[in-house]
Structure 1
């Protein structure tokens, strides 16, 4: 690890923390004063020039009509980062050595904005949460100005002679609207730290490529069952990956994570193979809307595959604590019996919760209650139209299950799922999928 780079990164974040503390103190001393949201073209996301709301649907039509000029987005994003680092070389130090994850993440963000631009409130809410989370990266309003300039240059380079002012302005209005919500979200989160330090208290291998980690934050970490957080290990500075929290909030504040190693050299590799009890991690703010209602008014369907079981386990723990127990069906899928890695916890929940029915789905193997795909098993088991559903796991499984439940007349607003990634072409994605990231490791 580059110690000099790591020390510089720590010093940069310490400066940001002191600045936020000073702004919070100023806010407390003057409650009527609104936190500075930065100069530039962005105000509150719900406000636009002359008091007019943002017409996202109009920009969506313009951008969609001219998408062939800038897609696939890989080339556009390449031009964007080239322009940004050419003008401001110091910004390169704020990114990890490998830019691949950032490029993929930005592509998903572009798709999310374009597909949801006709629902500005949904976009504003999502971007506010994103801005709250991005504080851990040291992102400042001035960086958004640099991003806008680089995007304009990238659009010109990608579209070439077919570039038009109409196209560029639609893209910039979309980005300004999103950035305005991000700035508002960051300004509204001054009372909480940009990230939490945590100590690994236990590290247990459940297979050659899977580990269960327990982490104790240094200070209270607020979250709800079903949410996720992004984790950074000192083995890979500046690199954050999302992981679901595998437990409901506990009295001792300890967190649990189920991490499957997906590739060599990434965060999941570091957490599974090179992390031990006593090591330090950083945790971003809790995110995600896959949480239970105050008191579920309907029966519950939970569908989990792979390490998506982490989210299912947290939801079941929370349900077990409530005085009113709705009938709950759990479909838990794995490719083989060996990949059902947390059977003790599953058996304990099934034994203690009379309202819970568990259906294992084990690939094509015999001996399970069901075989084949989880989505097919759910479809074969009956009418779920009166339930509220929670789906977690690999993106392809989530997508197939959401499609299947929708086809079985379960309203989309009662299907909650982990965000799906951008591995599917736009025509194959759920029309209103969650945020454009996947709860997986890298």
Structure 2
């Protein structure tokens, strides 16, 4: 396979912005109308997903240790949409049609390379889906509590059906009857517990169809659906090094789960948790974190604000504050939060000498704008 040529071809499609995803789904729905029912009424939120996942594969196609587990996780995850082996050739044909449409230098050799590559991708995903056939495609989970911490942030506790399992730091997708067929990823804020409960942090964004529903419409007694867990920032349980955890916004959730993992299961080590916010009042889980710090002498929690001159907390962007307290080169480091915060923090840490293999990060960003709760399409 000519990987550079395939990457160049894919870059031409992605350079068109929305046009390539729109072409792909239009081709898929016209050639295979039976697939339309698998997707939400509004495609505003969904249409980027396929090309984003494909972009990850294209970017790392020469790193099989990274790509294969990602494809296996996608294969297991796609079972929740009702995808069966017969759907993979349909998607492949539409993908080739899309790439061909946007590449003025398309040729038979490139078509063969893409066809072969997609065949391998589909094979890995289908095999993973088949291996998971003894598990349900999703699990129901009852909302047992729902607390609004700020005007746009809520913490929910969910009770999944028996058999649902995950690891600290992983993400799970949620779907609500308020927004059917729209799934959004959230990271539990606790390690696995004997009672199976999950702590979920949600921040509503204007036009964010799922997050807005979860914060403003969902309440105790409602039932959500959970997809299988995905790797994302999964905690390395084999390491016993001290930890540096850096959180912004609801990126706090997976890092709080890491703290809980250490508290419940060890091994004992020093943990420094830094939590950044624009203003002091938006630190939505402060009381719980301070309680954890008092309960566990191995844990130090530091809060910082970037746009609150009246606050007595540390001042500055959280990456800047973390760098002031370094160096952290002997630690395993986990960073989660908004894109700019993750980029700034990881750049500073690597510049200061942190080894890349000791750094794990996850970006928490709002999804594409979609219909409001009243049905108005916002974008």
The residue number in structure 2 matching 1:135 is 79
* Aligned-pair CA distance for 1:59: 3.4
**Displacement of 1:159 after TM fit?**
2.0
Selected match of 1:158 from 102, 107, 112: 102
| Greater strand content | 2
Secondary structure in 1 matching 2:45: helix
Alpha-carbon distance between aligned partners in 1 of 2:239 and 2:92, rounded to the nearest angstrom: 43
Query: Secondary structure of 1:238's partner?
Result: strand
Shift of the 87–387 alpha-carbon distance from structure 1 to 2, 3 Å rule, reads same
Q: How does 1:86-101 map to 2 (within 5 A)?
A: 86-101=30-45
- Alignment-derived partner of residue 395 in structure 1: 339
Mapping of residues 332-347 of structure 1, within 5 Å: 332-347=275-290
Alpha-carbon distance between aligned partners in 2 of 1:242 and 1:294, rounded to the nearest angstrom: 22
Q: What CA deviation, in whole Å up to 9, does each residue of 1:300-344 have, x standing for no partner?
A: 100011111111211111111245421111110111111111112
Alpha-carbon distance, 1:69 to partner: 3.7
Count of matched residue pairs: 366
> Which residue in 2 is equivalent to 1:32?
none
Tell whether 2:230 aligns with 1:287: yes
- Segments of 5+ residues of structure 2 without an aligned counterpart are 368-378
**194, 199, 210: which is aligned to 1:267?**
210
Q: 2:141 matched to which residue of 1?
A: 198
C-alpha contact 2:140 2:224 (8 A) present in aligned 1:
yes
1:125 paired to 2:69: yes
What residue in structure 2 maps to residue 385 of structure 1? 329
Q: Does the CA contact (< 8 Å) of 1:392 and 1:398 recur in 2?
A: yes
**1:330-369 matched pairs, under 5 angstroms:** 330-366=273-309, 367-369=311-313
Post-superposition CA distance 1:23-60 (Å, at most 9, x none): xxxxxxxxxxxxxxxxxxxxxxxxxxxxxxxxxxx532
For the Cα contact (< 8 Å) 2:183–2:210, is it kept in 1?
A: yes
Contact 1:108/1:422 (<8 A) preserved: no
Q: Distance in 2 between matches of 1:275 and 1:68?
A: 40
SS in 2 for 1:179: helix
Q: State the alpha-carbon separation in 1 of the partners of residues 76 and 217 from structure 2.
A: 30
Change (3 A) 1:66 1:284: closer
Match of 1:144 in 2: 88
CA–CA distance in structure 2, aligned partners of residues 252 and 338 of structure 1: 32
Q: Work out whether residues 300 and 327 of structure 1, in 8 Å CA contact, stay in contact via their aligned partners in 2.
A: yes
Distance 1:132 1:334, change over 3 A: same
Of 58-67 and 394-403, more deviation after overlay is shown by 58-67
Structure 2 equivalent of residue 234 of structure 1: 177
After TM superposition, the score normalised by the length of structure 2 is 0.91
Contact 1:305 1:397 survives alignment (8 Å): yes
User: Kindly tell me: are residues 293 and 337 of structure 1, through their superposed partners in 2, closer, same or farther at Cα, counting changes over 3 Å?
Assistant: same
- Per-residue Cα deviation, 1:178-216 (whole angstroms, up to 9, x for no partner): 222211211111221110001111111111111111111
After TM superposition, give the deviation of residue 155 of structure 1 in Å: 2.0
- CA distance, structure 2, for counterparts of residue 364 and residue 181 of structure 1: 47
Change (3 A) 1:69 1:380: same
Residue 178 of structure 1 pairs with residue 178 of structure 2: no
Cα 1:303–1:156 change in 2 (3 A) is same
CA distance in 2, matches of 1:220, 1:368: 46
Secondary structure of the residue that 1:181 maps to in structure 2? helix
What is the distance in 2 between the residues matched to 1:111 and 1:342?
35
Deviation at 1:381, TM superposition (A): 1.8
Deviation at 1:422, TM superposition (A): 11
Consecutive unaligned residues in structure 1, runs of 5 or more: 1-57, 424-441
Distance in structure 2 (CA, Å) of the matches to 1:294 and 1:318: 9
